[in-house]
Amino acid sequence: MERFEVSILGREYSMACSTEEKPQLLAAVRHVDVLMQRIQGTGKVSSNERIAVMAALQIAGELLAMKAPDGPLGGLAVGDFKRRIEDMNSLLDDALSGQEKLL
């Protein structure tokens, strides 16, 4: 494990990860810091907690909008994929509960 310090919105945080994971973690820190600075710069949100929540929501939106690579699910957004799985689980639950009633 490698320990190092990062700065997010002017505040220092101690981090630890493997050497292989460090570049990805540092990229994530930069992304979060840029988003939080942008939100703070609008002047509409003042507390760091609210700024962090707004940044987290933006990142979650980015994640859910990401498209799957080429292949059987190519072009399908992660959020759409998640909804389809939830719909299939609901159908399976309904079918199983219908089977239980027949027994």
4 and 52 share a domain? yes
DSSP string, 22-49: HHHHHHHHHHHHHHHHHHHHHSS--SHH
pLDDT tens-digit map of 19-42: 999 999 999 999 999 999 999 999
How many Å is the Cα radius of gyration of the chain? Answer: 20
> Do 58 and 73 sit in the same domain of this protein?
no
With cut-offs at 50, 70 and 90, classify the pLDDT of residue 96. confident
**How many domains in the chain?**
2
- Domain hosting residue 7, numbered range: 1-65
Mean model confidence pLDDT for the chain: 87
Across 68-91, average pLDDT: 75
Shared domain check, 100 and 72: yes
pLDDT band of residue 73 (cuts 50, 70, 90) is: low
Residues 61, 74, single domain; the answer is no
Q: Where are the beta strands (DSSP E) in the chain?
A: 2-8, 11-17
Phi, psi dihedral angles at 12 (to 5 degrees):
-85, 140
> Do residues 61 and 72 share a domain?
no
